Amino acid sequence: MAEIHSHRRNTASFPIPLPHVEDVFRLLIEHMPGVFYTADLNACGRLRSIGPQIIDVLGFPPSRCIDDRQFFQARIHPHDRERVAAAKDSVGKAYSSGEIEYRMLDHNDHVKWIRDKFVIQAHGDGETAVVIGVLQDMSEIRNAEAEAADLRRIIEDLPTEIYMFDPTTLQFITVNRAARENLGYSMDELAHKTPLDVEPDYTRTTFDHLIAPLRAGATEAVRFDTSHLRRDGSRYPVRVKLQYSSIATRVVFIAQIMDITETQDAEEKLRQINAELEERVLQRTKHLATANHELKGFAYAVSHDLRAPLRAIRGFAHILNSTSRETLDDKGRQYLDYVILGAVRMERLIDDLLTYSKLTYGNHGGDMVSLAEIFRNIRREFDKVIKERHATVSFPEDIPDLPGELSLFEQIIANLLDNALTYCDEGVKPQVTFSWRAETGFCVLSVTDNGTGIDSGMYDDVFNIFQRLVSDTDYQGTGIGLAIVRKAVNLLGGTVWVESQPGVGSTFFVRLPMAANAASIER
């Protein structure tokens, strides 16, 4: 204002005619980057004038700000009002200036950070003082500073080690708490160090070669494992992710470091466990090979050593029966029948036991097998029994071929049919129905009969070897047939189960893969 007065005294040097000076001054105020204002210092801050930019800052038009005598004071944040008043009062004498930052509330009561640069001008009466100032909206800067402070606080509190260093000198710019505590250095100490001081495995040449792709923009990040050297001389393994980033006005390297001590310890323990497991598997494989060898010997012994005396018993019993039966009394003939029937049952038991043992070490391939052909063969094989029992047996004709070994399928179907024909009440004509359905990737074969049925508590037991649910005097089974079924099904990669109702009948289900699966077929 003093300069304006001096121009009025010397109009010859002022290039703009005096009537237009106020217009020029008004244009300057309206287009300046801040908000020009005048206010009474001693009248609770009542505004005398304010620039139109105030609507961009607080959302109020200038007229509203001037008409409301308490506007300026009311829009200052309640926590800052006393501080603002004290700052302007403390300036004191005329033409002294000051600067203060405080918060104001906009038309939505949102906080705006304001920088207020002002000068105090006293009028001629010596009592009236006017504040002339410029308000500058600092909200974006202060919000950005707050966000940056929050980000620094988050980085500082992260459990992951974070390092930021200069791309030219490699000196650390900042290192978060997790890294400082693990290394044992303060930030002041680390400010004079570089990654080469904590990563002794690298020289400046090898490290420059490592970060060259980042500098060239060929990759977004470089990952590698190394070790860090602590202040006390100890080392710990780390996994590093290194990036080249722009922060504010500078470009820096940012390294995210993970202490992998626990990971490596866990991996070492896992390697030891795997080694122990492999050794156990090797030992068990050897034991299994020995057991299989012994099983083969047992099968040979059963086949040859046990059959020989059994044939002798059966042969002499038949001779005695054909030559001397009439000379025996009723009790003697009964005992002779027991011997003959026992020999027959023993021979059948040996046959079933041999079949069961051979399933353990057979060669089970993945060729496609025609179940329809097996059904036809089984029907011919059981034709005599079916006729003797006046049984009705039906097989499906559209069942698909399945992968596996022919003999396994034959054992499954033959033993399921034999079980259905054997365990049927006296005087009841057996009715046996084979059927199938497709599931996702599997064929489910079912065998339904009208036999004696099985109690629900015995569903699992019927598949155990030598497990008989009824007396062998009533039903001529060996207790091995369903065990053979389960073993053969397992070897084919399938499952078997039963659903039954005593006195009504049973349905056995066999679920088998429709495509060869090397993982499920034991070889």
Sheet strand arrangement including 129-137: 47-50, 35-40, 129-137, 111-122, 97-105
pLDDT of residue 522: 40
Q: What is the mean pLDDT of the chain?
A: 82
What 3-state DSSP class applies to 26? helix
**What is the pLDDT averaged over residues 328-355?**
75
Tell me the C-alpha distance between 36 and 130, whole Å.
13
Q: pLDDT tens digit string along 204-229?
A: 999 999 999 998 889 999 999 999 99
**What is the pLDDT averaged over residues 82-106?**
79
* % of the chain with per-residue pLDDT over 90: 33
**What is the pLDDT averaged over residues 327-333?**
84
Please give the C-alpha separations between residue 361 and each of 126, 283, 370, 403, 464, in angstroms, as whole numbers. 118, 18, 23, 18, 19
Identify the band that residue 467 occupies on the pLDDT scale cut at 50, 70 and 90: low
Tell me the C-alpha distance between 298 and 504, whole Å.
40
Is the pLDDT at 6 greater than 60, yes or no?
Answer: no
Is the pLDDT at 472 greater than 80, yes or no?
Answer: no
pLDDT of residue 5: 36
**What is the pLDDT averaged over residues 417-432?**
88
Buried/exposed code over 462-489 (b: 16+ C-beta within 10 A; e: otherwise): bbebeeeeeeeeebebbbbbbbbbbbbb
Strand partners, 105: 111
Q: pLDDT tens digit string along 108-140?
A: 999 999 999 988 877 655 566 788 889 999 988
Tell me the C-alpha distance between 202 and 188, whole Å.
23
Tell me the C-alpha distance between 339 and 231, whole Å.
92
Q: End-to-end distance of the chain based on CA atoms, in angstroms? A: 104
From the list 360, 377, 376, 438, the residue with the least C-alpha distance to 402 is 438
From the list 356, 362, 402, the residue with the least C-alpha distance to 523 is 362
pLDDT of residue 86: 82
pLDDT of residue 433: 94
Please give the C-alpha separations between residue 264 and each of 69, 74, 162, 172, 281, in angstroms, as whole numbers. 72, 63, 21, 28, 25
* % of the chain with per-residue pLDDT over 70: 81
Is the pLDDT at 45 greater than 70, yes or no?
Answer: no
In terms of C-beta density within 10 A (0-12 exposed, 13-18 middle, 19 or more buried), how is residue 460 classed?
exposed
Tell me the longest C-alpha to C-alpha distance in the chain: 168
